[in-house]
């Protein structure tokens, strides 16, 4: 087999896997709603917990929405590799000769499309609930659009490491939340800057840099983690 | 999976002392014997330096004109904070070596580092918060140093938690080593983002160790203490690693031989 | 195709089986036998690159392998044909159509059903169909006969012999007495590491 043919089959493997994961998610579409409902419930608890003062809500809105998105991502992450690990599909992937890194990347992308993108799409509603100034709404959506893929990418490493544990989900949050700290800081800072009428493009640039770095590094680490978990 | 590898090594022995050292380290009986000879020395140097450093720091150094006597917590806090970062780095490096070259001793050393590092982190956090009481008037301020120490503690707890959650020891060690490595890549980013976050939100006051103009009579004990805790780390690490090694190899010939020698 | 020398795997610092050595050439079948818990599955997983041997070396001349293990790798939420179509597109090496292999393994009547509705034997046949799609020289089969009726056992044997006749090789682990009728069969009786 020539190298050209091999890379061709790698691309088709990537898209076959992406298509399959999306189809599987569609077959269980009610489960797709859980993270979104979770996000809505968590955010709605804040006005109930600290009072409906519009000024106060606007002040904490970026942090609240982002932390809710973080939590929603982590509860959805467990499904990233779980079923493929448990029914032996992952072993088939290892034996297929395709790099596990590529397989991880396809699965992470599918996970983001199913669990991350809906969070981004829901965020305008949350922003309205939390009385976020309308001029920072666009920045809020943008930070989530750039940030949630990073959450899926970094999260995939944690899932890869905990997948062989029966109760891996509880440990997962301990593993990934510290790693999420920089994203939380930068993203909320961007939204706050926009609310205060300050320049925010530098923050978005940092998020783009983070996205590029995690796209290049995280799938390798996730693949290594899966390899360890399979042993 | 090169079948020629073993025969090639036989032809050219003792090429590079570092490679030889790592290979020797990889042999459990050699490591056990070597570390056994080293440990008493490390403890002795640690004790001598600590007594000297604490004497200079707690007795000889004058009280601070701003903070009074409370600044002396520095001699515990600062070395611990430095060690917490250093041990994480060393754990990640050992973890990297363990993952790439599959050296079991390195897995053991990396995993033995985690509790020591976590302990230093807790000491740094506790002493920092005790120091905060007279300085800030409160036990906890979301100051950059304390906040990054807190995140570092979570990273340590993740490594320790993962290591203990997986049953098979070698698989557990490899998973935790990988996590340590991922954490180490993120650590500078976390550190600087927290630092920057702290300047962005002007809520908290100056850092406790803000003054860089420190009198030599106060600085020397700090440096001695910083040096002393490194020997503590070495001694504690090797002691833990020896115990873990004996535990893992309890059915192997070399351990049985040691037990027999001890009994007779 | 596969050359193994003194391979060993430790779990909890105990060797799972006594060191294993063998040489497998094209057209040869290695029959791995032994009692329960002697490490047949572990050996197969080491050869499959899922586990890393604690000591010993092995050399394999193929990148991809066909594998049927205890967990079959079939998605419950996809139909039989969807499962196989995915694997065909994913592997990208198949020379046969999905319908064709489904007919060969005798799942023609249930090909549109979701895999969750299949019996254990039918699931095994589905995994065998995937093996036919994989178009790999080296097969690693872990208890391929379990859950299958007599007709299914014959199916495995026919598949195996066709594979070996066309220059393939296979490592087959089984605890049963059934032996495929093939001249180029080597035996490898695993001895549990704990027994030594």
Report pLDDT digits (tens) over A119-134. 999 999 999 999 999 8
| Residue predicted with more confidence, B221 or B6 | B221
Chain B neighbours, 3+ Cβ pairs < 8 A: A, C
Residue B9 within a domain: no
Handedness of CA A226, A231, B4, B6 (dihedral sign): positive
- Could you report the per-residue pLDDT of A6-51, keeping only the tens digit for each? 444 889 999 999 999 999 999 999 988 999 999 999 999 999 999 9
Q: Would you say residue B9 has pLDDT above 70? A: no
Tell me which residue range forms the domain holding A104. Answer: 3-230
Question: How far is B55 from C77, CA to CA, in rounded Å?
Answer: 71
Q: Would you say residue B1 has pLDDT above 50? A: no
Residue B15's pLDDT is what? 55
Chain A neighbours, 3+ Cβ pairs < 8 A: B, C
Residue B23 within a domain: no
Residues in chain B with CB shorter than 8 Å from the CB of A157 are: 178-179, 182
C149 touches chain A (CB under 8 A): no
Q: For residue B233, how many C-alpha atoms fall within 13 Å in the half-sphere facing its CB? A: 28
Rg (CA), chain B: 22
- 3-class DSSP assignment, residue C57: strand
**Residues 6+ positions from B199 with CB-CB distance below 8 Å:** B144
Q: According to DSSP H, which parts of B26-68 are helical?
A: 28-54
Nearest alpha-carbon partner for B193 in A43, A175, A75, A209? A209
Cβ proximity of B183 and B92 under 8 Å: yes
**Residues 6+ positions from C173 with CB-CB distance below 8 Å:** C32, C33, C40, C41, C43, C44, C141, C142, C143
Task: Give the Cβ contact number of residue A137 at 10 Å.
Answer: 18
Angle, nearest 10°, between helix axes A137-162 and A100-111?
A: 140
Question: How far is C108 from A186, CA to CA, in rounded Å?
Answer: 56
User: In which residue ranges of chain C is pLDDT below 50?
Assistant: 196
Residue B98's pLDDT is what? 92
Residue B201's pLDDT is what? 67
Tokens of C81: 């044909």
Tell me which residue range forms the domain holding B90. Answer: 32-61+71-198+217-263
| Structural domain count of chain B | 1
B102 touches chain C (CB under 8 A): yes
Q: Would you say residue A5 has pLDDT above 60? A: no
Q: Which residues are registered as beta bridge partners of C192?
A: C17
Residues in chain A with CB shorter than 8 Å from the CB of B165 are: 162, 165, 168, 171
Residue B230's pLDDT is what? 96
Tokens of B169: 């020891």
Residue B210 within a domain: no
Q: According to DSSP H, which parts of B102-168 are helical?
A: 104-136, 144-165
Tokens of B184: 């180490």
Q: Would you say residue B250 has pLDDT above 90? A: no
Nearest CB partner across the interface for C57, out of B1, B169, B170 = B1
Report the pLDDT averaged over residues A193-218: 93
Tokens of B45: 């140097």
Instruction: Specify burial of residue A43 (Cβ count, 10 A radius: 0-12, 13-18, 19+).
Output: buried
Q: Would you say residue A91 has pLDDT above 60? A: yes
Interchain pair A13, C92: CB under 8 A: yes
Do strands C14-15 and C20-24 pair parallel, antiparallel, or not at all (unpaired)? unpaired
Report the pLDDT averaged over residues A159-169: 90
Question: How far is B218 from B64, CA to CA, in rounded Å?
Answer: 9
- Could you report the per-residue pLDDT of B48-105, keeping only the tens digit for each? 999 999 999 888 888 877 777 888 888 999 999 999 999 999 999 999 999 998 889 9
How far B10 CA sits from the closest chain A CA (Å)? Answer: 31
Nearest CB partner across the interface for C89, out of A16, A86, A91 = A16
Interchain pair A86, C93: CB under 8 A: no
Residue B232's pLDDT is what? 97
Task: Give the Cβ contact number of residue A193 at 10 Å.
Answer: 19
Question: How far is A161 from A177, CA to CA, in rounded Å?
Answer: 14
Report the pLDDT averaged over residues A135-141: 92
Question: How far is B95 from B17, CA to CA, in rounded Å?
Answer: 21
Residue B11's pLDDT is what? 39
| Structural domain count of chain A | 1
Nearest CB partner across the interface for B251, out of C5, C14, C58 = C14
Residue A197's pLDDT is what? 87
Question: How far is B25 from C5, CA to CA, in rounded Å?
Answer: 26
Chain C neighbours, 3+ Cβ pairs < 8 A: A, B
- If phi over 0 gives left and psi between -120 and 50 gives alpha, with beta otherwise, what is residue C7? beta
Interchain pair A175, B185: CB under 8 A: no
Fold of domain C1-64+137-196: Rossmann fold (3.40.50)
Interchain pair A179, B171: CB under 8 A: no
Nearest CB partner across the interface for B1, out of C10, C13, C59 = C59
- Could you report the per-residue pLDDT of B135-165, keeping only the tens digit for each? 888 888 888 888 999 999 999 999 999 999 9
Residue B57 within a domain: yes
Chain centre to alpha carbon of residue B85:
7
- B217 pLDDT band, cuts 50/70/90, is confident
Residues in chain B with CB shorter than 8 Å from the CB of A161 are: 162, 175, 178-179
Q: Would you say residue B198 has pLDDT above 60? A: yes
Interchain pair C64, A95: CB under 8 A: yes
Tokens of A168: 């891996």
Residue B206's pLDDT is what? 44
Residue B159: closest CA among chain A residues belongs to which residue?
A175
- 3-class DSSP assignment, residue A141: helix
The CATH 3.40.50.300 portion of chain C extends over 1-64+137-196
In this structure, what are the phi and psi dihedrals at residue B157, rounded to the nearest 5 degrees?
-65, -35
Question: How far is B110 from B183, CA to CA, in rounded Å?
Answer: 13
Residue B122 within a domain: yes
Residue B140 within a domain: yes
Residue B168's pLDDT is what? 92
- Could you report the per-residue pLDDT of B105-135, keeping only the tens digit for each? 999 999 999 999 999 999 999 999 998 888 8
Residues in chain B with CB shorter than 8 Å from the CB of A63 are: none
Residues in chain A with CB shorter than 8 Å from the CB of C50 are: 91, 94-95, 230-231
Chain centre to alpha carbon of residue A26:
18
């Amino acid at each position: 087999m020539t190298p050209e043919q091999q890379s061709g089959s790698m691309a088709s493997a990537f898209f076959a896997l992406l298509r399959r994961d999306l189809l599987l998610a569609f077959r269980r579409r009610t489960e797709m709603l859980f993270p979104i409902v979770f996000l809505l419930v968590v955010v709605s608890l804040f006005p109930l917990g600290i009072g409906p003062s519009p000024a106060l809500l606007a002040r904490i809105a970026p942090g609240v929405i982002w932390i809710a998105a973080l939590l929603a991502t982590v509860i959805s992450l467990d499904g990233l590799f779980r079923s493929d690990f448990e029914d032996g599909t992952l072993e088939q992937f290892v034996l297929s000769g395709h790099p596990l890194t590529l397989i991880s990347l396809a699965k992470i992308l599918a996970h983001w499309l199913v669990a991350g993108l809906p969070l981004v799409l829901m965020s305008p509603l949350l922003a309205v609930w939390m009385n976020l100034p309308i001029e920072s709404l666009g920045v809020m959506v943008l930070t989530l659009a750039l940030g949630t893929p990073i959450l899926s990418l970094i999260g995939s490493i944690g899932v890869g490491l905990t997948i062989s544990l029966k109760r891996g989900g509880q440990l997962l949050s301990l593993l990934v939340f510290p790693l999420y700290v920089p994203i939380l800081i930068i993203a909320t800072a961007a939204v706050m800057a926009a609310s205060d009428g300050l320049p925010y493009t530098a923050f978005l640039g940092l998020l783009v840099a983070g996205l590029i770095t995690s796209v290049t590094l995280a799938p390798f680490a996730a693949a290594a983690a899966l390899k360890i978990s399979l042993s | 999976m090169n079948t020629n590898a073993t025969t090639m090594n036989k032809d050219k022995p003792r090429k590079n002392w570092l490679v030889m050292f790592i290979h020797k380290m990889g042999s459990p009986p050699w490591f056990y014997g070597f570390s056994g000879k080293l440990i008493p020395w490390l403890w002795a140097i640690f004790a001598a330096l600590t007594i000297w450093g604490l004497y200079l720091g707690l007795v000889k150094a004058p009280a601070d004109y701003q903070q009074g006597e409370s600044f002396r917590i520095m001699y515990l806090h600062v070395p611990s904070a430095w060690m917490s970062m250093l041990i994480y780095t060393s754990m990640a490096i050992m973890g990297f070596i363990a993952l790439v070259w599959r050296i079991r001793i390195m897995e053991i050393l990396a995993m033995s580092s985690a509790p020591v590092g976590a302990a230093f982190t807790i000491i740094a956090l506790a002493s920092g918060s005790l120091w905060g009481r007279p300085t800030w008037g409160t036990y906890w301020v979301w100051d950059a140093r304390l906040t990054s120490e807190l995140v570092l503690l979570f990273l340590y707890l993740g490594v320790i938690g993962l290591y203990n959650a997986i049953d098979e020891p070698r698989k557990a060690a490899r998973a935790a080593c990988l996590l340590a490595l991922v954490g180490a890549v993120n650590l500078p980013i976390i550190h600087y983002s927290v630092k920057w976050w702290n300047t962005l939100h002007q809520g908290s006051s100056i850092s406790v160790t803000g003054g860089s103009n420190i009198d030599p009579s106060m600085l020397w004990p700090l440096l001695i203490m910083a040096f002393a805790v490194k020997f503590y780390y070495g001694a504690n690490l090797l002691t833990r690693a020896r115990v873990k090694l004996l535990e893992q190899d309890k059915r192997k010939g070399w351990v049985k031989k040691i037990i027999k020698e001890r009994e007779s | 195709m596969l050359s193994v020398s003194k391979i060993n795997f430790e779990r909890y610092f105990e060797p799972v089986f006594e060191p294993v050595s063998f040489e497998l050439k094209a057209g040869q079948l290695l029959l791995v036998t032994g009692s329960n818990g002697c490490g047949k599955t572990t050996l197969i997983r080491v050869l499959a690159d899922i586990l890393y041997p604690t000591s010993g070396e092995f050399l394999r001349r193929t990148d991809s392998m066909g594998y049927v293990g205890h967990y079959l790798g079939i998605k419950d939420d996809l139909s039989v044909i969807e499962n196989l179509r995915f694997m065909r597109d994913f592997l990208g090496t198949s020379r046969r159509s999905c319908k064709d292999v489904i007919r060969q393994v005798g799942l023609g009547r249930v090909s549109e059903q979701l895999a969750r509705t299949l019996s254990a034997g039918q699931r095994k046949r589905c995994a065998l169909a995937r093996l036919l799609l994989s178009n790999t020289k080296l097969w690693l089969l872990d208890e391929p006969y379990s859950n299958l009726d007599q007709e299914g056992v014959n199916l495995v044997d026919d598949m195996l012999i066709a594979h070996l006749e066309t220059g393939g090789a296979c490592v087959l682990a089984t605890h049963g007495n059934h032996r495929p009728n093939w001249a180029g069969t080597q035996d490898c009786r695993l001895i549990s590491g704990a027994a030594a």
